[in-house]
Structure 1
Amino acid sequence: MSEPAVRLTQLSHGGGCGCKIAPAILQKILAGSAPGILPPQLLVGTETSDDAAVYQINPQQAIVATTDFFMPIVDDPHDFGRIAATNAISDVYAMGGTPLFALALVGMPVNVLPLETIGKILQGGEDVCRAAGIPIAGGHTIDSVEPIYGLVAIGIVNPAHLKRNADARAGDKLILGKPLGVGVYSAALKKDQLHGSDYDAMIAATTQLNTPGPLLACLDGVHAVTDVTGFGLAGHLLEVCKGSRLRARVNFADLPLLPRAREFVEAGYLTGASGRNWASYGEAVRLAEGLDATARTLLTDPQTSGGLLVSCSPDTVTEVLSLFLQHGFSQVSVIGEMSEGEPGIDIR
């Protein structure tokens, strides 16, 4: 882990997907927007807060389009670029799509950051796109007060294999591909409490491409997929519940966590986004007796480049877990199930 002369995380008021506008505030902002054009070819738009837009171009092909960008979550510029690019491409994988190419979105305080540092950020994004097998084919740059980097990611999917976040079924099992705790780790990093192996664990998680997505999409027993990012596990699972008109039950003890996530929370290292998330949707989440503020923080912790959340039939669980393991997701876990009931989440 190298650090530039100017710490990237000190140049921004928030970092990673913790920069997201809180769900409740975003809902109010969008409430005043007039309905846009809704052609029949638009298979996925804004209606269920899904991961990407999907537009059908012929019976076998649909374009997947998404964009994601944020301020630094780490100080190493190359790692920042890698994390931001991995996060942006994840939304294509979450729809069951295969990435085709990307466009870079770059906003940098050019009079504050050395040009070499900015170059390393862009190189980190290039390296991840190379690993995903896609080019960065263009983009846009501006001189901004805070450093911002991300991608527009374009992919393709067979409409028959498209996986929305709103098609879960009662009786489905819930599977999470990556450990939680990225926001907590980023808060510890800002306080200089994140050391060697802790940092390595966070980087390993946030730069791991969600490559099982297109393969999972080909399984008939996989009904819904999303990725867990800035709204935390509870927030993104709640979107699945609302879209599918079902209730989720989550076993807290089964949640995969970064090694010291609980320890850092108990030491007081958490993000402001966690509290904003709970204020936005906490009334729809029921915590079992005995689950404390630490559990609540981990459920709402904003994940940057988080894992795929899969809702699948019980007889498909083994195949889903196998695909994740084959792609190097060693902490993939079955965390709960979907059931009939008022949309919401029961944590036990």
Structure 2
Amino acid sequence: MGLEDLKQITANLKQPDYKNLLLDFKNNDDCGIFRLDNNTLLVQSVDFITPIVDDAYIYGRIAAANSLSDIFAKGAKAISAMSILMWDKEHLDTQDINAILQGSLDTLIECECALLGGHSINDTEQKYGLSVSGIIKDNIFWRNNTAKIGDVIILTKPIGSGILTTAFKNDELEFATNLDVVSSMMTLNLNTAMCAKKYPLSACTDVTGYGLIGHLCEMVNKDISICLHYDKILFFENAITLADKGVVPGGSYENKKALEHRVKNTTKYNDIICYDAQTSGGLLIAMDEKNAQKLVYELRNEGIQASIIAEVVIKSEYDVYLK
């Protein structure tokens, strides 16, 4: 669902200000957060996706990693999950569904998150995901829109997964020779979040369906704008070439249509790739530059493709400046 559609359907929804409710749908954040007691915060999120690769097991792993990402973007530990399965019986048999569920379960086991059960229905289009619960024990959680002037922003995975998976579907790119993007989408943001917990963060979010620029726009508040440096962004191999050829998912064009009035592109580059709808993308982490340099060094030593891609500046005419 596009950004504008989401705003319209939630615009008139109101609920009481419950005493222990810290974040809900009104906050446009990655998760809801509810205080259970003085030391424990409950963090909850839900997500599901249609197949983006043909391999059922890999699809299950990617869908689970994508669903878990919001929890890690809050600095929480995932503790339990419920499966959400919409089964396209016309095109997938029981063996395929078992492989999807096994892929998801293996990913949950990787982060020691218990699968409690779930719900399934028949559908005309295959979909799978998880509702995930997490906990925070130190009362420290990361908002997505609390970056401060002078911060820099770290990105922890390359961009372009929507373009590459579209190329896979259109037989314009060989799946077997472009496994970097598949490996990235299957990789949990858990290790990244654990490293980041050692530092004072201003804000954090993950990069998913609204694309890099969409999630940067969500990080903007009334005091700041963001300067994004195109040449600092790491893109998956072949992604730029394919984007220039027009191999771009519809959701990425929808992102640009909804957001381009908030963005000033001062580069010579085709910026559609910066709006590309990602699946199980990396984290965007805002923090002071000195600590950011330390965190990037630590993340790279862990094999995570982290780099500083943007700076937070005083509010100006546009929310994001692409330079």
Question: What is the 5 A alignment of 1:101-140?
Answer: 101-140=80-119
Q: Distance in 2 between matches of 1:187 and 1:112?
A: 19
Identity in percent: 28
Does structure 2 conserve the Cα–Cα contact (< 8 Å) formed by 1:24 and 1:281? no
The Cα of 1:196 is off from its aligned counterpart by: 4.6
Are positions 1:200 and 2:200 aligned together? no
The Cα of 1:197 is off from its aligned counterpart by: 5.3
Letter in 1 for 2:100: I
Query: Match of 1:175?
Result: 154
Are positions 1:261 and 2:235 aligned together? no
Are positions 1:144 and 2:133 aligned together? no
Q: Distance in 2 between matches of 1:184 and 1:260?
A: 9
Instruction: Please report the TM-score for the alignment, with normalisation by the length of structure 2.
Output: 0.95
- What is the alpha-carbon root mean square deviation over aligned residues? 1.5
Does structure 1 conserve the Cα–Cα contact (< 8 Å) formed by 2:86 and 2:126? yes
The Cα of 1:38 is off from its aligned counterpart by: 2.4
> Which shifted more, 107-116 or 191-200?
191-200
Q: Distance in 2 between matches of 1:123 and 1:334?
A: 36
Question: What is the 5 A alignment of 1:165-244?
Answer: 165-196=144-175, 198-211=177-190, 212-220=192-200, 222-242=201-221
Query: Match of 1:28?
Result: 8
Q: Secondary structure at the match of 1:89?
A: helix
Letter in 2 for 1:304: T
Query: Match of 2:300?
Result: 325
Does structure 2 conserve the Cα–Cα contact (< 8 Å) formed by 1:229 and 1:304? yes
Letter in 1 for 2:147: A
The Cα of 1:155 is off from its aligned counterpart by: 0.6
Query: Match of 1:248?
Result: 226
Are positions 1:46 and 2:46 aligned together? no
The Cα of 1:161 is off from its aligned counterpart by: 1.8
Letter in 2 for 1:339: V
**Alignment deviations for residues 121-177 of structure 1 (CA, whole Å, 9 cap, x no partner):** 111101111111112111111111111100011111135320010211000001000
**Count of residues in Structure 1 that have an aligned counterpart in Structure 2:** 321
Does structure 1 conserve the Cα–Cα contact (< 8 Å) formed by 2:168 and 2:175? no
The Cα of 1:188 is off from its aligned counterpart by: 0.5
Q: Distance in 1 between matches of 2:290 and 2:49?
A: 39
1:327–1:102 Cα change, 3 Å: farther
1:194–1:118 Cα change, 3 Å: same
Q: Distance in 2 between matches of 1:199 and 1:245?
A: 41
Query: Match of 1:162?
Result: 141
Q: Distance in 1 between matches of 2:71 and 2:163?
A: 26
The Cα of 1:289 is off from its aligned counterpart by: 4.3
* Residue segments in structure 1 that go unaligned for 5+ positions in a row: 1-20
The Cα of 1:101 is off from its aligned counterpart by: 1.3
The Cα of 1:204 is off from its aligned counterpart by: 1.0
Q: Distance in 2 between matches of 1:238 and 1:165?
A: 10
Q: Distance in 2 between matches of 1:183 and 1:73?
A: 9
1:186–1:196 Cα change, 3 Å: closer
Q: Distance in 2 between matches of 1:24 and 1:159?
A: 35
Q: Secondary structure at the match of 1:237?
A: helix
Instruction: Please report the TM-score for the alignment, with normalisation by the length of structure 1.
Output: 0.89
Query: Match of 1:16?
Result: none
1:29–1:196 Cα change, 3 Å: closer
Query: Match of 2:311?
Result: 337
Q: Distance in 1 between matches of 2:19 and 2:302?
A: 35
Does structure 1 conserve the Cα–Cα contact (< 8 Å) formed by 2:228 and 2:310? yes
1:133–1:306 Cα change, 3 Å: same
Does structure 2 conserve the Cα–Cα contact (< 8 Å) formed by 1:286 and 1:347? yes
Letter in 2 for 1:305: S
> Which shifted more, 142-151 or 34-43?
34-43
**Alignment deviations for residues 210-269 of structure 1 (CA, whole Å, 9 cap, x no partner):** 01214413422x110000000000001001003x63100011000011011111112221
Does structure 1 conserve the Cα–Cα contact (< 8 Å) formed by 2:74 and 2:205? yes
The Cα of 1:111 is off from its aligned counterpart by: 4.2
Letter in 1 for 2:282: G
Query: Match of 2:283?
Result: 308
1:163–1:214 Cα change, 3 Å: farther
The Cα of 1:318 is off from its aligned counterpart by: 2.3
Does structure 2 conserve the Cα–Cα contact (< 8 Å) formed by 1:287 and 1:347? yes
